[in-house]
Amino acid sequence: MSTFWAIVARDVRLAVRGGTESVMVLVFFVLAAILFPFGVGPEAEVLRRIGPGVIWVVALLAAMMSLERLFSADHEDGTLDLLATSPAPLEIVFLAKAIAHWLTTGLPLLVAAPVLGVFYQLPGPAFGVLLLSMLLGTPSLSLIGGVGAALIVGARRGGVLLALLVLPLYVPVLIFAVAGVDAVIFDAPVRPSMMILAALLLAAIPLCPWAGGAALRQALQ
């Protein structure tokens, strides 16, 4: 357990001290979302209609940006070999790294999302659901993306490959998160989609470390 928190603390500290990376992800998130009104026009009606979808799609892409280096960086400087010799199994190492990724990427996205909600003219009640969907959805993104990041350790052209591996697997999270926010706007029940989003997260918490641990083990052999 101490190894677990040590890894989380190390990654967060690295991100806070060294890093422009979290800031870059955030800037990308806001900037990419701002581009859409230029593409489709500034009518409030259109923006409200596409808002939840755009915010979530851009969040997927932003969360993916920092994934490529999640394990590759540790693999290159040998940290991953040291972590593998630690008493904690690789599944725990994976979970710690995924949580650190969420703290440094998912959480900033969650904080910035209401600003984009304002830009997209979302009605008042939609903000709460948008935040809830981010809170339940982005940890799944970090976990599923972490499996992809573990698979591409040592691969050529990792970045493009990661997008190809991870984006199709993100589809369910995207669908239910946007369905929830849309439901507020169109006066439909929000609960089912949020429940399924939570179910996806609950399924990802045990399954992704398992797959990610297996992927890391293959990479270290």
Partner 1 sequence: MANLHRFANPAQFQRLSRALLPWVAGITAILFVLGLYFALFASPPDYQQGDTVRIMYVHVPSAWMSLFCYTFLAVAGAVGLIWRHPLAFMSARAAAPIGAGFTFIVLATGSLWGKPMWGTWWVWDARLTSVLILFFLYLGHIALSRAFDDPARGAKAAAVLALVGAVNVPIIKFSVDWWNTLHQPASVSRLAGPAIDSSMLPPLFLMAFAFMGYFFTLLLIRIRADLASRKVQALRVAALAAAE
Instruction: Kindly list the residues in this chain that would bind partner 1 in the complex (CB under 8 A).
Output: 147, 151-152, 154-158, 161, 164-165, 167-169, 171-172, 175-176, 179, 182, 196, 200, 207, 211, 214-215, 218-219, 221
Distance CA 135, CA 131 (A): 6
Q: Which is nearer to partner 1, 46 or 167 (CB)?
A: 167
**Which amino acid would we find at residue 37?**
P
Q: Which is nearer to partner 1, 59 or 147 (CB)?
A: 147
Beta-carbon contacts of residue 175 (< 8 Å; ≥ 6 apart): none
Q: Which is nearer to partner 1, 117 or 158 (CB)?
A: 158
Q: How far is the CB of 86 from partner 1 (least distance, A)?
A: 22
Helices (H), 19-106: 21-40, 44-65, 69-76, 79-85, 90-101
Q: How far is the CB of 121 from partner 1 (least distance, A)?
A: 21
Distance CA 62, CA 58 (A): 6
Q: How far is the CB of 130 from partner 1 (least distance, A)?
A: 17
Q: How far is the CB of 61 from partner 1 (least distance, A)?
A: 16
Q: Which is nearer to partner 1, 29 or 94 (CB)?
A: 94
b or e along 116-139 (b: 16 or more beta carbons within 10 Å of the residue's beta carbon)?
A: bbebbbbeeebbebbbbbbbbbbb
Q: How far is the CB of 30 from partner 1 (least distance, A)?
A: 26
Q: Which is nearer to partner 1, 115 or 192 (CB)?
A: 192
CA distances from 200 to 42, 173, 174, 188, 196 (A): 35, 7, 11, 21, 6
